[in-house]
Structure 1
Amino acid sequence: MATIAADQLALPRLYHWERAAANAVTLTQPMGGVGGAEVKTFTWAQVGDQVRRMAAFLKAKGAAEGWPADAKVAILSKNCAWWLMSDLAIWMAGYVSVPLYPTLAAETVSQILTHSEARFIFVGKLDDWPAMKAGVPAGLPGASYALSPDDAKQAYESWDAICARTQPLPGEVTRAASELCTLIYTSGTTGAPKGVMHCFGAFTWAIAEGLERFPMSAADRMLSYLPLAHVAERVLVEHAWLKEGLRVWFADSLETFTADLQRARPTIFFSVPRLWVKFQQGVQARMPAQKLNRLLRLPLIGGLIRKKVKKALGLDQCRIAVGGAAPMPVALLEWYETIGLHINEGYGMTENLALSHMTLPGKKQHGTVGPAYAGVQTRIDPATGELQMRSPALMLGYYKEPGLTVDALTPDGWLHTGDKVTQDAEGCVRITGRVKDLFKTSKGKYVAPAPIEDRLGMHPTIEACCVAGANLNQPLGIAMLSPQGLQRAATDAAGLQAELAQHLEAVNARLDPHEQLDTLVLIKTPWTVDNGFITPTFKVKRNRVEEAYGAKFEGWVKRRVKVQFGD
C-alpha cells in the first residue's frame, strides 16, 4: 500500500467539511412531486449530524447484539442522499458496508446478504421492493428512508425516527488506511457475484490519482444516477464528493431524468455507452442526423445549434464528460465531438476500483482507453495478449474465496484483467476483446466479438447486441431493437430489414472473412436486468443470450437471410 495521509481518508474528509463548510449545501435530493420538482437539501453540518446519529445507533446495536468488530451492514437502495450518509455511518460505527444493486432478483439479494453475513440492512428507494424482499433473510433488522416503499417503512424503523432519538456520536472516529471498508459485489457478467474487498486507503489513493488527471473543486456539480453499488459511481461520486466537497444532485426517476439533468447542470458527467447512445438517439429523433450535420457545418448557426443541443441534454455546463464500464464506439465519440462535447473514455474493474486507464483531456485518442494512470503498472502477457496490472488500488481479495483470489492474480501479484489489448507508442491501450469471450468457428478461426458489437450497435434502431457462433461456419449477430427500431418494425418491417442489411454489409466490409456475420437477427423482446439479459450497468450477459437463443442459431443460419426477426 502506498503511503496515505490519514487526513485524506474518507471520514477525516467529512470532519474537514463539517468544520470548513458547515453551512454549504452539498446534497440535493428530489422528494417527488410533479416532475420530481420537490427537493430537500443537506448542508455539510446536517450530513455530519445525521451520520453521527446513525453511527451511534449502529454502534450501540452492534454492542448490544454482539456483532463482530468487522460486522457487515448492507445498503439496498437506489442512489439518494441517505445512501451516502448510510455508508459514512457504517464506517463511523466501525463496520463494513455492503451495497447491493437496487435491481437484483430476490435470489441474488439472498445470496449476497447470506454470503456477507450482513447484520443489518438499510432498505431505501426501490422500484420493485415486493419482488426483492423475499431475498432478505427473516429477522434481519434494518432501517428505512423517507423515500422507501410504504411496506418497507412498515417493516423497518425510519432513519428520521432513529436520528431523532439518538444522540450524535462525539469526536472524530478514525479508521486505518489498511482496514476493510466495503465489499463490492461484482455484477455477475461471468457468473455468481463475488465480494471484492477494498480498504480505505485504496479509495483514497484512487481518487487522488484520478484528480491528478481530471482536477475537480467544490465549485463542481455532479448528478448521481448510475448505481452507487457500482465501483465507478462509488469512486467518482462518493469519494470525489468527500475529497473536494463538490455538490451532488440525485436523479428522481427515469421519467424525470431530463429534468434532473437540467436542474443539476453537471460540470462533471459520467455515463455508460448505452446511455450515451440513447442520448444521441433522442437528439436524432428530434432532428434527423443529415439535417443536424448540415446545420453544424454552417459557421454561425453551427455554434448556436451545438449550444442548443447540449442545453437540451442538460450538459451545456459540462467540462468533464466520461464514458466507461464498456467500450465506447469510435463513431459515437466522434458524433459527440461534432456537438462540442469531448468524452474521455475510462477503463477499470471492480477489482482495481475502476482506476486503470483513461484517455487524456484534449487528446484525440478515440478507439483506445488512453494511457495508464500514474502509479498504475501494466504489462501485456506475450502468450495471450492479456493486459495485467497492479496498483495501490488493487483489491484485498474476494471475500471468503481464497481460491478465486489466487486465480485472479498472477503468482507475482498482478491482476488478470481478462482483456486482450494492444498498446501504441504513446502508451494508449486498445481493447481488442476478452480472452475468454473469444470463440472458434467450425473453420478453426477465432473471433473476438466485442469490436464487431461496437460497430453493429452504432445504428439507431439497435439498442444492444451480441455476436455469437462457436462451432458455426460463420458468426452471427443478435440485436435487441431500440424504441425507434420497434416502431419501424411495426410500421415498415421490410424497410427496416433492408436498411439494416446495408448496415450489416458495411460492418462486414471492415472484417476479416472469418469474422463476417452470416446473418443479423432482430429481437423485439427487451433485454432487461429483470429477465437477466443485462447487468445493472447495462452490460449484455453473453452467456444468457447464448442460453436463450443458442438452440436457434443453426436454424437462423440455414434460412440464408441477411437480416431476420428472431421472435
Structure 2
Amino acid sequence: MPINHDTSFLDHMPQNCAVQFLDRVESSPDREAFRFPRGEAWESVTWRQAGDRVRRLAAGLMALGLESEQRVGIAASTRYEWILADLAIMCAGGATTTVYPTTGGDDTAYILGDSESRFVFAEDESQLAKLRDHREELHGIAKVITFDDTLADGEWVISLEQLAELGDGYLTEHPDAIEQVTKDIQPDQLATLIYTSGTTGKPKGVRLLHRAWVFEGEAIKAQDILHEDDLQFLWLPMAHSFGKVLLSTQLACGFATAIDGRVDKIVENLGIVKPTFMGAAPRIFEKAHARIVTMQASEGGAKEKIFKKAFEVGVKVDRLQREGRSVPLLLKLQHGLFDKLVFSKVRERFGGRVKFFISGSAALNAEIAEWFHAAGILILEGYGMTENAAGATVGHPQDYKIGTVGHAFPGTEVRIGENDEVQLKGPHVMAGYHNLPDATAEAFTEDGWLRTGDKGAIDEDGFLHITGRIKELFKTSGGKYIAPPAVEAKFKAICPYVSQFMVFGAERNFVSALITLDPDALAAWAAENGMEGASYTELVRSEKVKAMVGEYVDELNQQLNRWETVKKWELLDHDLTIESGELTPSLKVKRNVVEANNKDLIDGFYS
C-alpha cells in the first residue's frame, strides 16, 4: 500500500530543537516522557517533570556564561541524564558535542579541543579521569558537570544538582530567560557537533543544524509511523546520530521512552519494558536470531524438529502473502498451529508488543529479516549517515520491502550518481565538517548533493537498495568484482555461532576470510560438546570447533558464484571489540584496522 508522502509539514515545523521540546512539554504535560532504571526498579517522569528539570539545568548553563552556539561536550553512556544534558544545552542556545564513553583519553581531548567546548558533562570517574589527564590541553573548559554527585569538588567539577541550583538563582533574576533564548535560535544555527569515529585518521566533526534534527522528527511524524501511545526502548549510543534522531522523533510524536544503555541487558529489558518499537544495529538482531536458533538446537529431538518445521512453513507463508498470492488451506492450518507453538514464544522474548524494530547503521541480512518476519516481527530498515542527521530513507509499516531501506523521507531527494553512488539532498544534510573546508568540499558534488560513498539502486517502486560501500568492493586478480558485505551477510544467516566474518582478496587470485565467533554462543556449544570450561582461545584453536565452522563455510560456498567462494579461512583468537579499536561504537567493523592487525595471517593465505 503506497504511502502518501505529503510535504506540507515543512511549512509548520518548530523553529528549533528547544522549541520542539518545549512545545511537547506544553502539549503533553502529564503524559509519561521517560522511564529509567534506579537500582532494580524503573522510575518514570512526565513531560512536565522533564521540562522543569531541563529548564533548571539550561538556566544553570546560562548562569555559567554559555553563549549562543558555544559547544558543550557530553561524555557519557546512554541514560536519562544524557538526554537532560542535551536538551538543556539546546534550551540554553548552545550546541552539543558528543563523545562516546569508550573513546580514549587522547581522542576525547582532541574532540573537546577541536570543537572548542566550554563545558563538559562527564558521567563518572572514568570520564572525569580522561579530562583531568588532559587538563592542560583542555584549558578552554571552564566547568565539568558530573552525573555522579560524589565527584564534585566545588571548583572545576560540579554536580548536576549544583548546576540546577545555579539555574534556580538565574531564573529568579531572569524568569523569562529560557523563552527569550529559545525564541531567538534560528533554524540554521548549530545544534550538534558529532565526531564520526573515522576508520582512518582523526575523527571529523559533523556540523548539524537545528533544522536538520527538527526535520528528522517531523518527517517521521508526517509519515504516521509512530504515535503518542507507543513506547520506545532506547539503548543505542546517544553519541551516535541514530540515537539522537530517535530523540527528535520522540519530541515530534510524543511517545514515552524507556532508557538503558547497557547492551548486555537489552533482551532482559525488552521482556520487562514490553516496548512497541526499538532501534538497533543489525548485530543485535543477528545475536538474538543466533541465540534462539542455538537454544532450540541444544534441546534437540521433537522440539527442534517442530521449531525447524515452523520456520520452514512460516517463511513459505510469509513469501506467498508478501507476493499477494493465496495461502493453501493445509499450509494456513499448519501456520496457525506453529504460531501458537513457536512464533508466539519468539515474540514473547521481545516483550510481546513489538509493532516493529528499526534497523540502521549497517546492512541487515535479508534472510534474518525474513526469519523474524515469519515469526510475526517486522524489522524496518532505515538508511542514512551522520552527515545527514542519520535518517535519509526508511521502510513504512504499511509499505516496505525486505532487503531494501525504504523510500526517501518526504521533503528530501535521493539519486544514484556516478559509480552507482547514493547521493542525498534535503534539510537534513550537514552544514559541513568543523574546521575542514577541503573535506567539506569533497563531501559534496558540484551541484550540491551529499556523497554517501555507498553503492545503491532505486527499483521501479522507488525503494532504495544498498549494495555496499564503493571503497569496499574489490577485484580479484582474475578480474571479478566481489562485494564483501553480500558474502559476509550470507554467512551470518547460515552460522549461528559467528560474530564477524570478513572476506579479503583484492588483486589476489582467490577469496579468503577471517572469522570470529560469538563468545556466548560458543560457550553454549562447548557445554553441549564436552568442552565446557575451555577458554575462547582454546575453543577456536581446537580441531572440533574448526571442523564445525568448516561445515558452515562449505555450506556458504554452495550458495556463491565460483569466483566468490572462500578458499582459505582462519578463526581469530579473540572477538572484535570497540575497546580493541576494531569496531566503531556503532558496532561497524573497521575493516582496514582488522586487515592491518592480521596482515601476516592474510598474506600467509596466498604465499
TM-score (norm 2): 0.84
Corresponding position of 2:330: none
Describe the shift of the 1:96–1:138 C-alpha distance in structure 2 as closer, same or farther (beyond 3 A): closer
Cα offset, 1:553, TM superposition: 1.2
Task: Please list every run of 5 or more consecutive structure 1 residues that lacks an aligned counterpart in the other structure.
Answer: 559-567
The one-letter amino acid of 2:385's match is M
1:416 to 2:426 alignment: no
Structural mapping, 1:89-100, within 5 Å: 89-100=88-99
1:123, 1:142 within 8 Å by CA — same for their partners in 2? no
Cα offset, 1:468, TM superposition: 1.5
Hey, what's the Cα distance between the residues in 2 that align with 1:110 and 1:439? 36
Out of 196, 202, 206, the position equivalent to 2:212 is 202
1:306 to 2:343 alignment: yes
- Identify which range, 526-535 or 255-264, moves more after superposition: 255-264
Corresponding position of 1:293: 308
1:129, 1:149 within 8 Å by CA — same for their partners in 2? no
The alignment's C-alpha RMSD in Å is: 2.6
1:224, 1:248 within 8 Å by CA — same for their partners in 2? yes
Hey, what's the Cα distance between the residues in 1 that align with 2:409 and 2:263? 34
Cα offset, 1:475, TM superposition: 1.9
Hey, what's the Cα distance between the residues in 2 that align with 1:269 and 1:5? 27
Corresponding position of 2:300: none
The one-letter amino acid of 2:119's match is F
Hey, what's the Cα distance between the residues in 2 that align with 1:524 and 1:291? 35
Cα offset, 1:128, TM superposition: 6.9
- Identify which range, 121-130 or 533-542, moves more after superposition: 121-130
Out of 406, 409, 416, the position equivalent to 1:373 is 409
Structural mapping, 1:351-500, within 5 Å: 351-363=387-399, 365-382=401-418, 384-458=419-493, 459-483=495-519, 484-485=521-522, 488=525, 491=531, 493-500=542-549
Instruction: Report the secondary structure of 1:164's partner residue.
Output: helix
Higher helix share: 2
Hey, what's the Cα distance between the residues in 2 that align with 1:368 and 1:506? 25
Taking only the aligned residue pairs, the percentage that are identical comes to 29
Cα offset, 1:144, TM superposition: 4.1
Corresponding position of 2:164: 163
Deviation string 1:259-300 (CA, Å, 9 cap, x unpaired) is 322232111211111011111122223322654233565445
Task: Please list every run of 5 or more consecutive structure 2 residues that lacks an aligned counterpart in the other structure.
Answer: 1-6, 298-303, 314-333, 532-538
Hey, what's the Cα distance between the residues in 2 that align with 1:135 and 1:431? 41
Corresponding position of 1:563: none
1:376, 1:391 within 8 Å by CA — same for their partners in 2? yes
Describe the shift of the 1:128–1:93 C-alpha distance in structure 2 as closer, same or farther (beyond 3 A): closer
Deviation string 1:181-216 (CA, Å, 9 cap, x unpaired) is 111111223543211111111112222222333522
Describe the shift of the 1:205–1:532 C-alpha distance in structure 2 as closer, same or farther (beyond 3 A): same
Cα offset, 1:53, TM superposition: 1.4
Hey, what's the Cα distance between the residues in 1 that align with 2:562 and 2:211? 49
Cα offset, 1:405, TM superposition: 0.5
Hey, what's the Cα distance between the residues in 2 that align with 1:13 and 1:381? 35
Corresponding position of 2:603: 554
Corresponding position of 1:348: 384
Cα offset, 1:91, TM superposition: 1.6
Cα offset, 1:308, TM superposition: 2.0
1:108, 1:135 within 8 Å by CA — same for their partners in 2? no
Hey, what's the Cα distance between the residues in 2 that align with 1:428 and 1:300? 31
1:102 to 2:111 alignment: no
Structural mapping, 1:199-238, within 5 Å: 199-236=209-246, 238=247
Out of 43, 46, 52, the position equivalent to 2:46 is 43
1:266 to 2:275 alignment: yes
1:26, 1:247 within 8 Å by CA — same for their partners in 2? yes
Hey, what's the Cα distance between the residues in 1 that align with 2:272 and 2:284? 19
Corresponding position of 2:262: 253
Structural mapping, 1:531-546, within 5 Å: 531-546=580-595
Hey, what's the Cα distance between the residues in 2 that align with 1:536 and 1:513? 35
1:77 to 2:112 alignment: no
Corresponding position of 1:276: 285
Deviation string 1:137-163 (CA, Å, 9 cap, x unpaired) is 5553444454x3955789721111221
Cα offset, 1:58, TM superposition: 1.1
Q: What is the aligned length? A: 546
- Identify which range, 130-139 or 448-457, moves more after superposition: 130-139
1:518 to 2:567 alignment: yes
Describe the shift of the 1:195–1:519 C-alpha distance in structure 2 as closer, same or farther (beyond 3 A): same
TM-score (norm 1): 0.89
1:462, 1:481 within 8 Å by CA — same for their partners in 2? yes
Structural mapping, 1:92-131, within 5 Å: 92-124=91-123, 130=129
Out of 63, 70, 76, the position equivalent to 1:60 is 63
Describe the shift of the 1:61–1:130 C-alpha distance in structure 2 as closer, same or farther (beyond 3 A): closer
The one-letter amino acid of 1:233's match is G
Hey, what's the Cα distance between the residues in 2 that align with 1:300 and 1:379? 42
Describe the shift of the 1:240–1:423 C-alpha distance in structure 2 as closer, same or farther (beyond 3 A): closer
Instruction: Report the secondary structure of 2:22's partner residue.
Output: helix
Structural mapping, 1:310-325, within 5 Å: 310-314=347-351, 316-325=352-361
Instruction: Report the secondary structure of 1:430's partner residue.
Output: strand
Describe the shift of the 1:7–1:418 C-alpha distance in structure 2 as closer, same or farther (beyond 3 A): closer
